[in-house]
Amino acid sequence: MNLLRISWANLRDKALSSFLSGLLMALGVTIISLLLILNQQLTEQFTKNVRGVDLVIGAKGSPLQLILASIYQIDAPTGNIPLAEANRLTRSPLIKEAIPLALGDNFKGYRIVGTNQKYLLHYGATLAEGTTFNRPLDAVVGAKVARLTGLKLGDQFAGSHGLTGEGHEHGNKKYRVVGVLAPSNSVADQLILTPVESVWEIHEEEEGEARAKPSLMPMMAAPDQSPEGEGSGEERNADPENSASAVGATEEITALLVKVRNPLAKLTLPRAINDNSKLQAASPAIEINRLFTLLGFGLDTLQYIALAIIVISGISVFVSLYNSLKERRYEMALMLSMGATRARLFGLLLLEGLMIALIGFVAGILLSRLGLAVLGRNVEDNFHYDLNALTLLPEEGLLLLGTVAIGLLAAALPSLGIYRINISRTLAEE
Amino acid sequence: MLETRNLTFSYTPQKRFVFPDVACADDETLLILGRSGRGKTTLLHLLALLLKPESGQIVVNGTDLARLTVRATVAFRAQNIGLVYQRPHFVASLSVLDNLLLANYLAGYKSDRDRARQLAERLGFSEHLSKKTTQLSLGEQQRVGIARALMNRARVLLADEPTSNLDDDNCDRVASLLAEQAHEVGASLVIVTHDQRLKERVGRQISL
Say which residue, A384 or B55, is predicted with more confidence.
B55
Of A157-171, A223-237, A281-295, A365-379, the range with the lowest mean pLDDT is A223-237
Shortest CA gap B113–chain A (Å): 11
> Averaged over A226-250, what is the pLDDT?
40
CA-based nearest residue in chain A for residue B78: A339
CA-based nearest residue in chain A for residue B109: A1
A361 pLDDT higher than 90? yes
By the 10 Å C-beta count (0-12 exposed, 13-18 middle, 19+ buried), A290 is classed as middle
- Test mutation, B52, B102, B132, chain A, max A CBs within 10 A: B102
B97 pLDDT higher than 90? yes
Query: According to the model, what pLDDT value does residue A245 have?
Result: 37
Of A198-202, A232-236, A426-430, B79-83, the range with the lowest mean pLDDT is A232-236
A39-74 pLDDT, tens digit per residue, is: 887 777 777 777 788 889 989 888 889 988 888 888
B187 pLDDT higher than 60? yes
Q: Quick one: which of A130, A138, A168 has its CA closest to A156?
A: A138
Give the per-residue SS3 of chain A. Answer: CCHHHHHHHHHHHCHHHHHHHHHHHHHHHHHHHHHHHHHHHHHHHHHHHHCCCCEEEEECCCHHHHHHHHCCCCCCCCCCEEHHHHHHHHCCCCEEEEEEEEEEEEECCEEEEEECHHHHHHCCCCEEEECCCCCCCEEEECHHHHHHHCCCCCCEECCEECCCCCCCECCCCCEEEEEEECCCCCHHHHCEEEEHHHHHHHHHHHHHHCCCCCCCCCCCCCCCCCCCCCCCHHHHHHCHHHHHHHHCCCCEECEEEEEECCHHHHHHHHHHHHHHCCEEEECHHHHHHHHHHHHHHHHHHHHHHHHHHHHHHHHHHHHHHHHHHHHCHHHHHHHHHCCCCHHHHHHHHHHHHHHHHHHHHHHHHHHHHHHHHHHHHHHHHHHCCCCCCCCCCHHHHHHHHHHHHHHHHHHHHHHHHHHHCCHHHHHHCC
- Test mutation, B105, B112, B150, B192, chain A, max A CBs within 10 A: B105
Of A43-47, A175-179, A287-291, A349-353, the range with the lowest mean pLDDT is A43-47
Query: According to the model, what pLDDT value does residue A388 have?
Result: 64
Query: According to the model, what pLDDT value does residue A220 have?
Result: 40
ipTM of the complex in this document: 0.89
Instruction: Using CB atoms, pick whichever of B78, B90, B105 lies closest to residue A2.
Output: B105
Say which residue, A160 or B127, is predicted with more confidence.
B127
Query: According to the model, what pLDDT value does residue A68 have?
Result: 87
Instruction: Using CB atoms, pick whichever of A10, A340, A427 lies closest to residue B106.
Output: A340
Q: How far is CA B128 from the centre of its chain?
A: 22
Query: According to the model, what pLDDT value does residue A49 have?
Result: 77
Q: Looking at the complex, does the CB of residue B75 fall below 8 Å from at least one CB of chain A? A: yes
Q: Could you give the percent of chain A with pLDDT greater than 70? A: 85
Query: According to the model, what pLDDT value does residue A206 have?
Result: 59
Shortest CA gap A328–chain B (Å): 8
Q: Looking at the complex, does the CB of residue B18 fall below 8 Å from at least one CB of chain A? A: no
B30 pLDDT higher than 80? yes
Q: Could you give the percent of chain B with pLDDT greater than 90? A: 18
> A401 falls in which pLDDT band (50, 70, 90)?
very high
Query: According to the model, what pLDDT value does residue A400 have?
Result: 92
Cβ-Cβ contacts under 8 Å, A10 against chain B: 93
Query: According to the model, what pLDDT value does residue A331 have?
Result: 87
Q: Quick one: which of A22, A30, A45 has its CA closest to A284?
A: A45
Q: Counting one residue from A and one from B, how many pairs have CB atoms under 8 Å apart?
A: 67
Contact yes or no for B48 and A337 at CB 8 A: yes
Query: According to the model, what pLDDT value does residue A383 have?
Result: 66
Q: What integer best gives the mean pLDDT of chain A?
A: 80
Q: Could you give the percent of chain A with pLDDT greater than 90? A: 8
> Averaged over A290-298, what is the pLDDT?
81
B32-75 pLDDT, tens digit per residue, is: 988 877 888 888 888 888 888 888 889 988 888 878 888 888 88
Q: Around Cβ A217, how many Cβ atoms within 10 Å?
A: 26
- Test mutation, B77, B93, B99, chain A, max A CBs within 10 A: B93
Let me know: does B171 contact B195? Beta carbons within 8 Å.
yes
Query: According to the model, what pLDDT value does residue A384 have?
Result: 61
Query: According to the model, what pLDDT value does residue A205 have?
Result: 60
Contact yes or no for B107 and A339 at CB 8 A: yes
What backbone torsions phi and psi does residue A109 show, to the nearest 5 degrees? Answer: 90, -10
What global pTM score does this model have?
0.72
CA-based nearest residue in chain A for residue B145: A334
A324 pLDDT higher than 90? no
Shortest CA gap B180–chain A (Å): 22
Cβ-Cβ contacts under 8 Å, B72 against chain A: none
Shortest CA gap A403–chain B (Å): 26
> Averaged over B83-110, what is the pLDDT?
89
Q: What integer best gives the mean pLDDT of chain B?
A: 88
Contact yes or no for A9 and B94 at CB 8 A: yes
Of A36-50, A278-292, B152-166, the range with the lowest mean pLDDT is A36-50
Say which residue, A116 or A43, is predicted with more confidence.
A116
Q: Around Cβ A41, how many Cβ atoms within 10 Å?
A: 19
Report the C-alpha gap between B68 and B72 in whole angstroms.
6
Contact yes or no for A6 and B94 at CB 8 A: yes
CA-based nearest residue in chain B for residue A11: B93
